[in-house]
Amino acid sequence: MKRFAAVLLAILITVTLFGCSAKPVEDETTTEATTETTTKAPVLNPFTGESGFSESAVGKRPVAIVVENLRPARPQWGITSPDIICEGEVEGGISRMLWLYADVNDVPEKVGPLRSARPSYVKFSTFFDAIFIHWGGSHSKSNYTGGYETIKKLKVNNIDGMSGGEMFSRDTTRKVSSEHRGVMNGKKLSNAIKKKGYRTELDNTKFTQLKFNTEISPAGATEAKTAKVKFSDRTDTRTFTYDTSDGKYHTNDWEKEVKFQNLIILKAESTYITVPYKGSSTTYLNYKWSSGSGTYVSNGTSTDITWEIKDGKLVLKDAVGNDLTINKGKSYIGFVSSNHNGKVTCSAE
């Protein structure tokens, strides 16, 4: 009995000393605290797909600027600066440009020569919800609807150099007539838009959202080392040459080297309209912005595409009907008259 009591006492002492007073044994496996690092997505230019786009320009309206293309106007001031250069015929076999900038603050201090509005260009600018910048415009005559009347009809926010203002001036360095010297100061454009009270927030329901490849990819299976664009049988030909060293298409047709990642050629039906003009007559060309075929050229290759205007936006499709994805970089968009012998020719040389 005494022996049993002694054993019991020893057990009680052990429990007291080592069970109740001992610290709990920590789990040998420890979990390290993890800190999640959130990488901010790069801000991309909606016209080029490239990073480095200003955050202050996100969700803001782009601008579209009408620029002359006659020989006395070349090289145009700021010719290498636009995100997208559009070009097509206007009248008398001459071509004209529409320069698109996703960020108004990217317009350089000197741009031009600016020229007057034409209906096809006014309409095309609306596909990108752009504020339209021009110097003058054509007027309606007979069965022709002018640039000014198109601006009014479509209620396009515009800034006209004919109205004057500190943003517009005449360059004095070139010995050419005044019509080839009208320039604008792009650094004053943002303030001019503000003074007009125009909406600056982008309306995505009116904005064509281009789609871009994640990596530079061939446009198609057809070799295109050279691409020639003729707007109609009345115009000259624009020539682009692929340079393997930088993967861009170069042209010197504007008397200054300009390069593009992509060439997008839209074939559209057009209408010639002859009207009286300054004691004689002139023949305007209007593009029908409805639908058509085209060509996409990039990375030394080309492919057939289709396009249409749907819900006020430009929709580009590849040869099998999927949304067209283009390479990141600057683009040239050519307007080719499909029913007046306009064409694009790509070759392997």
| Confidence class for position 278, pLDDT limits 50, 70, 90 | confident
* 39-48 residue pLDDT tens: 778 899 999 9
Q: What confidence score (pLDDT) does residue 180 get?
A: 95
Residue 134 has pLDDT above 60, yes or no: yes
Q: How far apart are CA 223 and CA 138, in angstroms?
A: 41
Q: How far apart are CA 95 and CA 295, in angstroms?
A: 19
Tokens linked to 126: 């609306």
- Cβ–Cβ < 8 Å for 114, 70: no
* Domain edges within the chain: 55-347
Instruction: Report the CATH fold assignment for 55-347.
Output: YerB-like fold (3.50.90)
- The mean pLDDT value for 307-323 works out to 97
| Confidence class for position 277, pLDDT limits 50, 70, 90 | confident
Mean pLDDT is lowest, of 3-12, 46-55, 63-72, for 3-12
Residue 135 has pLDDT above 70, yes or no: yes
| Confidence class for position 222, pLDDT limits 50, 70, 90 | very high
SS (H, E, C) 220-270: CCEECCEEEEECCCCCCEEEEEEECCCCEEEECCCCCCEEECEEEEEEECE
What rounded mean pLDDT belongs to the chain? 91
Q: What confidence score (pLDDT) does residue 37 get?
A: 59
pTM for the model stands at 0.88
Rounded to 10 deg, the angle between the 119-126 and 147-154 helix axes is 30
